[in-house]
Amino acid sequence: MDFKTLNKHSYVPYSGNARSCVVRSTDGGYFPGVRVENISYPLTIGRIQSALFSCLGAGKRPETIIFPEDPGAEELMPYWLAEYGINAEVNSSFSFEPEPLILKDKLSDNEIFDTLSELCEMAVTPNSDFQVSALLEVENGYIPGVNVECSNWELGICAERVAISRAVSLGYKSLGNMYVMAPKSDYVSPCGACRQVLMEHLPAGRIVLHQNDNHTMSVTSSQLLPYHFGGEVLKKK
**Chain contacts with ligand THU (rule: CB under 6 A):** 125, 128, 130, 132, 147, 149, 156, 158-160, 190-191, 194
Q: Between residues 138 and 159, which has the closer beta carbon with respect to ligand THU?
A: 159
Q: What per-residue string of b and e applies to 7-39 under the rule 16 or more CB within 10 Å gives b?
A: bebbbbebeeebbbbbbbbeeebbbbbbbbbbb
* Contact present, 144 and 134 (Cβ < 8 Å): yes
Catalytic residue among 75, 160, 200, 232: 160
CB of 128 to ligand THU, least distance (A): 4
Q: Which is nearer to ligand THU, 62 or 190 (CB)?
A: 190
**Are the CB atoms for 142 and 113 separated by under 8 Å?**
no
Helices within the chain (DSSP H only): 3-9, 47-56, 77-84, 109-119, 159-169, 192-201, 221-224
φ, ψ for residue 80, nearest 5 deg: -65, -40
Verify whether residue 75 is a known catalytic residue: no
Closest separation between CB of residue 129 and ligand THU, Å? 9
Nearer residue to ligand THU within complex by CB, 37 or 149 = 149
In whole angstroms, how close is the CB of 44 to ligand THU at the nearest point?
17
Active site residues: 160
